Amino acid sequence: MTAKKGIFITMEGPDGAGKSTQIDLLKKYLEDKGYNILLTRDPGGNDISEAIRGIILNKDFTEMGYMTELLLYASARAQLVKENIKPALEAGTAVIADRFVDSSAVYQGIGRGLGIDTVYKVNEFALQGIMPDMTILMDLDAEVGLARKKNQAELDRMERESVDFHKKVVAGYRDLADRYPERILKVDAALQVQEIHDIIVANIEKKLGLE
Ligand code: TMP
């Protein structure tokens, strides 16, 4: 049997879109296909990136500048790529990341107004040539996502942003999906869990040649 080639799939969407549930189902599906799996999250996934995550999301750091925020996300990502994602892909692993550079494109690029192109340019250094083979966008209106999150006790610094900010994020994601239709699959996150999973699987099989 030939060694499997690594694949990199990212899950994106506004806060509260149900990414985690779909990540778990996707993990099971890819395991059944014989893949070793690395489940990770951005920002985070290793000690250093998790520590940076703690700084970024600290709700008391209200003075944080947008450029600082952008660079901290990029720093956390640089370590995640170096320490986890790159080695895993080289070993033939299927990597599933809860968020990646597209989150910066929409939250910092559109939400904060820094511009998508600036965000990708800043991140180029952190990514070391690594981009997702496929990105799943869980598409959901901002109000619905935020309402789901409101049930959770402590909101972090980003979740505390205004509804307007989160609406910009959602619009940004939709634009991004139009911009990169080959890579980004936009799925209606209001559908049933199993329906969403079936759509994801059908597309993975088509896009990545799995069967
Ligand atoms: P999470 O709670 O979904 O792991 O994400 C943390 C928060 O950080 C979430 O509100 C989205 C935001 N975020 C950015 O603003 N830029 C980024 O580059 C990433 C990865 C996340």
Q: What is the pLDDT of residue 168?
A: 97
Q: Whose CA is nearest to atom 21 of ligand 1?
A: 103
pLDDT in tens, 151-182: 666 789 888 888 999 999 999 999 999 999 99
Does residue 173's CB lie within 6 angstroms of at least one atom of ligand 1?
A: no
Cα 131 to Cα 37: distance, rounded to the nearest angstrom: 17
Instruction: Work out the average pLDDT over 15-39.
Output: 95
Report the nearest-CA residue for atom 15 of ligand 1. Answer: 107
Summarize the confidence of residues 76-100 as an average pLDDT: 98
Q: Is the distance from the beta carbon of residue 145 to the nearest atom of ligand 1 less than 6 Å?
A: no
User: Does residue 15's CB lie within 6 angstroms of at least one atom of ligand 1?
Assistant: yes
Model pLDDT for residues 50-63, shown as the tens digit of each residue: 999 999 999 999 99
pLDDT of residue 96 exceeding 90: yes
pLDDT tier, 147 (very low <50, low <70, confident <90, very high otherwise): confident
Using the predicted structure, report yes or no on whether residue 1 has a pLDDT greater than 60. no
- Give the model's confidence band at 26: pLDDT under 50 very low, under 70 low, under 90 confident, else very high: very high
3-state secondary structure labels for all residues of 123-191: HHHHHCCCCCCEEEEEECCHHHHHHHHHCCCCCCCCCCCCHHHHHHHHHHHHHHHHHCCCCEEEEECCC
| Per-residue model confidence (pLDDT) at position 2 | 52
Q: Is the pLDDT of residue 188 over 70?
A: yes
**CB 14 less than 6 A from any atom of ligand 1:** no
Mind listing the pLDDT tens digit for each residue in 103-124? 999 999 999 999 999 999 999 9
Ligand 1 atom closest to 73 (CA): 18
Tell me, in angstroms, the distance from the centre of ligand 1 to residue 60's CA.
17
| 150, pLDDT greater than 90 | no
103 CB near ligand 1 (under 6 Å): yes
Q: Does residue 109 contact residue 66 with C-beta atoms inside 8 Å?
A: no
Q: Which of 27-36, 124-133, 154-163 has the lowest mean pLDDT?
A: 154-163
Q: What mean pLDDT is reported for the chain?
A: 94
Radius of gyration, alpha carbons of the chain: 16
